[in-house]
């Protein structure tokens, strides 16, 4: 994944132009929907990548404590 891809990967309908991805079916909605759902729960998802290296996705959600009576 390129740095440009990393900046846009959560955009609706965005698909990278890499050779490995061309033959994989998809609409480019998966990560956009994922980010929206996570943000609705007060969290976020990010990606850390370097050209021609593995990418790391980080998901954060707020901790919620609940009193038990």
Residue-wise pLDDT for 25-38, tens only, equals 888 899 999 999 99
Tokens of 62: 């707020």
CATH for the stretch 3-60: 3.30.565.10
Task: Answer with the residue of higher pLDDT: 15 or 22.
Answer: 15
Domain ranges of the chain: 3-60
pTM: 0.77
Q: What's the CA dihedral at 5, 9, 11, 12 to 10 degrees? A: 110
Mean pLDDT taken over the chain: 88
Residues written for the chain: 69
| Res. 6 pLDDT band, cuts 50 70 90 | confident
Cα distance between the two ends of the chain: 50
């Amino acid at each position: 994944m390129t740095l440009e891809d990393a900046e846009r990967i959560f955009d609706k309908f965005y698909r990278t132009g890499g050779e490995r991805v061309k033959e994989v079916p998809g609409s480019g909605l998966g990560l956009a929907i994922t980010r929206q759902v996570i943000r609705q729960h007060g969290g976020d998802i990010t990606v850390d990548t370097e050209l021609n290296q593995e990418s790391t996705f980080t998901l954060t959600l707020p901790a919620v404590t609940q009193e038990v009576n």
